[in-house]
Amino acid sequence: MKHIQILIKPASSLCNLRCSYCFYADISSMRQVRSFGRMNPEVTEKLIENVFADLADGDYLTIGFQGGEPTLAGLKYFKNFTALVKAQPKNVTVEYAVQTNGTKIDEEWCRFLQQENFLVGLSIDGGLEFHDRHRPDAAGRGTYQRVLAAKRLFDRYGIRYNILCVLTREMTTQVRQVWAFIQEEEIAFIQFIPCLAELGEEENEFAVTPRGFADFYSELFTLWQQEMQRGRYVSVKLFDDITNLLVNGVVGACGMLGRCQMQYVIEANGNVYPCDFYVLDEMCVGNITQQTLRELFEQPLTQRFICDKREYQTCTDCEFYKMCRGGCQRMKDACYVGAEDDGYCGYREVLKKVLQPLLTMAAPPVR
């Protein structure tokens, strides 16, 4: 039994927001073709055919949609996609997820997302002040209230969703403000995504540093524990991932153990890349309209990418080496040893803070 995950960009890098830190705007600007537009029906049909070619009865398939802003592909695209999947003869369990800025969500979208049981990642940046400063629309207007309206629709329709919050440098010093936002909006699931410097860039005013990363999560953990003691559990993805790794041996994030996985990132024209951080011309491993997933996996470029090993100078002496091994290479300067390479590792400091308490919380009660 296989469990395959693919990530589709049905509207390529098209987006109706102008986020100040958008990593995909940076990545796509480095390609010969910045945007491949919206995925056409021919690519969609061939994509589904070649994905299912390597699947068998009893397998699991997770299909994620991301952008840019994937809802710009239109609701008709998504309805057609799910209908084509249902028409496949193989008995494969399919789960859907979509990451959206929420500004296009209305009741018709919600009925569809509910019907197909989508898991939604809704991007909200830690309250009005942070969000509207960094996530304006193309006219420069704030989008916070529009995104909150989408969140309330999700609540009303019973749609499963997580809040995706980009962790900027300034936000790492305002932990209590972020936590107040979580409480006020009664957020049950949240993932903080470290803001990264652009590829090849040494300085960036928004990018997180390892010290900022450690300071943020250390203070957040204290507030999180206090909330637990009051009887309310908030799912913070990093804490969940660390617990699952320790207790169940489950890797909850790509690169968590220092080795990349093949993500099968599929652009709107069918081009396939091994990682969402590297959707670059030189990293294209093939095209899903011409090759199956197995054939794409066997490409030399794919094998070099997933087999690449990296160890930083301080890693082998670290007490947490076996549960990190240098972590995600793209996150290095934000979370791990950092560009200054002074031996300070933000993730190591976080583990020092949270490891024992998480193990204690996860331990079964003594009878």
Catalytic residue positions, numbered: 276
Per DSSP (E only), the strands in 133-176 are: 160-167
How far apart (Å, rounded) are the C-alpha atoms in residues 239 and 357?
A: 11
Q: Are the C-beta atoms of 13 and 28 separated by less than 8 Å? A: yes
For residue 148, give Cα distances in angstroms to 133, 240, 285, 353.
16, 25, 38, 33
Residues in the chain: 367
Token digits for 146?
């529009």
Instruction: Show Cβ contacts of residue 123 under 8 Å, excluding neighbours closer than 6 positions.
Output: 99, 100, 101, 102, 135, 147, 163, 164, 165, 166
Nearest C-alpha neighbor of 97 from the set 124, 73, 62: 62
Distances in Å between the Cα of 88 and the Cα atoms of 65, 189, 356 are: 19, 33, 47
Preceding peptide of 68 cis, ω within 30°: yes
CA atoms within 13 Å, Cβ hemisphere of 180: 9
How many other CB atoms sit within 10 Å of the CB of residue 202?
9
Distance of CA 53 to the CA centre of its chain: 26
Half-sphere exposure of 333 (CA within 13 A, CB side): 16
The 3-state secondary structure of 16-32 reads CECCCCCHHHHHHHCCC
